[in-house]
Structure 1
Amino acid sequence: MAEPLSHHLLTMAYNNAWANHRLYKACLQLTQDDFVAPRCGFFPSIKATLEHILQVDSFYLQALECEHRGEPPDTEAEGLFEPQEIFESCDQLQREQAQVDHRLIAYCSQLHDHQLQREVSIVRPGRVQSEQRLRLLAHLFQHQIHHRGQVHAMLAETEIPPPQLDEFFFAQESDLRAQDFAELGWTEEQIWG
């Protein structure tokens, strides 16, 4: 039988990848001008917001993976957290985000409830912060949801309709995610058991 909390974290990792898949399907329909156009949000464009999501995902996932392997934190990881625009196009960003999403699913798939209190070292300016795995993952998922919502709102200012992103957990709504799951190569049983 699956351990309840660690299985929930795994379903959240799948939900994250699924939501990113849907969001990027919409964003890939934008013109480059719409993708980079200045918009109202914490970050000044759809492109900049998606890059921030990817950078922060990479930053925290690297810390989690180092801890899992028993390695010290990467002192260069702090650079992943700095705002930077290194991707030219939406399809480049989408490929990178999908890779990070798969790494997060793989990480969460090996978790056990009794290990969720283990401490993870996170490199911060001038210090190393220590947080429990569970708290760090909860923060990571909340961060992703927060900024995806901003991209969703920015899409509403374009010709491309924002996708529905909240149809994940209900068993009787599996038909609403069936096409995406087929595109991602997933099954309901794979996620829910």
Structure 2
Amino acid sequence: MITASFAQEMARYNHWQNSQLKEFLVALSPEELTCERGAFFGSIMGTANHLLWGDWIWMSRFDNGQGPGGGIPASKSLCADLSEWLPLRDTVDQRITEWATALPDGVLTGPFTWFSAAKNEDVTKPYAQCVIHFFNHQTHHRGQLHQMLTETRSAAPVSDLVFLPEEV
């Protein structure tokens, strides 16, 4: 279905997108970041927190490392502000890159099992499907952030995969 090189390219894309996103978030006032915007996770900060939490929880599943704790409802409060969020975003992005770099093709053809707190049970799905979901989840929430940034009259990051720079 997919290869390790797909995951590596998506990890590069994730890093590029988040690098751009950080620049736009830093330019906003705390009020703009936390303003309720009617999004599923409320504000820009709430959505950015959930995106980071989702990346972190999936990485803990993929690499058996530390996870963020808490569940989906609390995910929008992962970090109180950008001073907490920015370094944690960098740490998780580095972890994603390291995981993708070390990912062998063979593992993608097998099953993947994790404990889902949302379902309160073990779930087994094809590993490739889980990896695709992981990267799709990022894109989904970055799209929401793009919309909310536009509402602030901010420019928003370039998100087209075809414009991913060779070096990120």
Q: Structure 1 length as normaliser, TM-score?
A: 0.76
Q: 1:57-96, aligned counterparts within 5 Å?
A: 57-66=55-64, 79-84=70-75, 85-96=77-88
Number of the residue aligned with 2:45: 47
Whole-angstrom distance in 2 between the partners of 1:39 and 1:100: 26
Using the TM superposition, give the Cα deviation of residue 80 of structure 1 relative to its aligned residue in structure 2, in angstroms: 4.7
Matched residues, percent identical?
Answer: 25
Which of the residues 120, 127, 131 maps onto 2:121?
Answer: 127
String of CA shifts for 1:132-177, please: whole Å, max 9, x gaps: 32111100100000000001100111142112121x445xxx7xx4
RMSD in angstroms over aligned alpha carbons?
2.3
Which stretch of the first structure deviates more once superposed, 148-157 or 105-114?
105-114
Aligned pair count? 164
Structure 2: which 5+ residue stretches go unaligned? none
Structure 1: which 5+ residue stretches go unaligned? 178-186
Asked if residue 140 in structure 1 is aligned to residue 150 in structure 2, the reply is: no
- Secondary structure of the equivalent of 2:109? coil
Kept after mapping to 1: 8 A contact 2:53/2:78 = no
Q: 1:1-193, aligned counterparts within 5 Å?
A: 5-66=3-64, 79-84=70-75, 85-124=77-116, 125-166=119-160, 168-169=161-162, 177=165, 188=167
String of CA shifts for 1:71-97, please: whole Å, max 9, x gaps: xxx8x8773544241422123212111
Kept after mapping to 1: 8 A contact 2:24/2:155 = yes
Whole-angstrom distance in 2 between the partners of 1:100 and 1:15: 14
Whole-angstrom distance in 2 between the partners of 1:78 and 1:121: 18
Whole-angstrom distance in 1 between the partners of 2:15 and 2:27: 19
Whole-angstrom distance in 1 between the partners of 2:134 and 2:71: 14
- Secondary structure of the equivalent of 1:44? coil
Quick check: which has more Rg, 1 or 2?
Answer: 1
Number of the residue aligned with 1:181: none
Q: Structure 2 length as normaliser, TM-score?
A: 0.86
